[in-house]
Amino acid sequence: MNKNIKIYIAGHKGMVGSAIWRKLEAEGYTNLIGKASKELDLRDQQAVKRFFAEEKPEVVIDAAARVGGILANNDYPYQFLMENLQIQNNLIDEAHKTGVEKFIFLGSSCIYPKLAPQPLKEEYLLTDSLEATNQWYAIAKIAGVKACEALRKQFGKDYISLMPTNLYGTHDNFDLKTSHVLPAMIRKFHDAKENAHVPVELWGSGTPMREFLFVDDLADAVYFGLNNKLADNLYNIGTGTDLTIKELAELIQKTVGHKGEIIWDSSKPDGTPRKLMNVDKMKNAGWQASTTLEEGIKKTYQWFLQNNGKYKQVKL
């Protein structure tokens, strides 16, 4: 792809969008566009229409979404459904109407049924019920996948959907009320270490299995998708390996250097028992992840330490 092509990265300030921006800059792309949410409200259809008319992007990468963990999804179901629908519908429709030929839509592995066979294959989409705690976000993302698929089918557009597994990395959200499990654990173990290694309480039983992908690997997959015409509309992006939440907690505890006890609150929900991605389709296309979980957690914790002023420490 021409290094001067005009690429709009929606959500370029977030963990995923900023990783994609860094990757493209490093590869020599010189015509990247990004707008902060205060400059462009992607939920506003007219604002998005004006933006496309003025900037005329040639490629769009949709890394913009309202995201959060189990607690946030459970507390704000309407916002997670409606705002994500508004954001992606405005971007996809305006990209189509203004002649954008290449569009990369990013979603999440939560689009797949809660009890689907493991590892999750792309064809399991819409074959059973979703996980109740994050169904609102999942339904919005499924609609985006299907919108891109419809444009491929009806208009021959090169619109693809990449579904990453659980993401983590630099520029993550470490707020304990709205963060995902891995950054929340980093924050909890760090604060506990700073408070004389007091015990850390974690939700659930620790038995569910989870897969984690370092965000720079997702950015690399997006770069691969930009520079290759992929045969299908939907691809899983992950490592193809998982571990228990208990094993994850112990790895993070070791990385952070916390010496205290871990207490599991089994009265809290576990969520999906297992969520491992089958990544054969993307691997066969020519891409696979390269960062180990241990290496990725170390990089993420180092970034957290360097930026810890942003996160008010909790007295435990």
315 DSSP 8-state letter: P
CATH superfamily ID and name for 7-310: NAD(P)-binding Rossmann-like Domain (3.40.50.720)
250-254, 303-307, 312-316, range with the lowest pLDDT: 312-316
Residue 240 marked as a ligand binder = no
- Which of the four pLDDT bands, split at 50, 70 and 90, describes residue 309? low
**Domain range annotation of the chain:** 7-310
Average pLDDT over residues 112-140: 94
Residue 257 marked as a ligand binder = no
Residue 173 marked as a ligand binder = no
Residue 190 marked as a ligand binder = no
Task: Give 53-91 pLDDT, tens digit per residue.
Answer: 999 999 999 999 987 666 777 788 999 999 999 999 999
Average pLDDT over residues 81-108: 97
What pLDDT is recorded for position 78? Answer: 95
What pLDDT is recorded for position 7? Answer: 98
Residue 47's SS3 state is helix
What pLDDT is recorded for position 311? Answer: 52
Nearest to 59 by CA among 80, 31, 82: 31
Q: Which of 137, 223, 235, 301 is catalytic?
A: 137
Pairing between β-strand 209-210 and β-strand 243-244 as defined by DSSP bridges = antiparallel
Q: Are 205 and 268 in contact (CB under 8 A)?
A: no
Residue 100 marked as a ligand binder = no
Residue 3 marked as a ligand binder = no
Helix (H) or strand (E) holding 236: strand 234-237
Higher-pLDDT residue of 37 and 311 is 37
Average pLDDT over residues 204-212: 95
- Predicted confidence (pLDDT) at residue 244 exceeds the cutoff of 90: yes
Residue 109 marked as a ligand binder = yes
What pLDDT is recorded for position 159? Answer: 98
29 catalytic residue (yes or no): no
What pLDDT is recorded for position 313? Answer: 45
What pLDDT is recorded for position 74? Answer: 77
Omega of the bond prior to 164 within 30 degrees of 0, cis? no
Task: Give 3-46 pLDDT, tens digit per residue.
Answer: 999 999 999 999 999 999 999 999 999 999 999 999 999 999 99
pTM of structure = 0.92
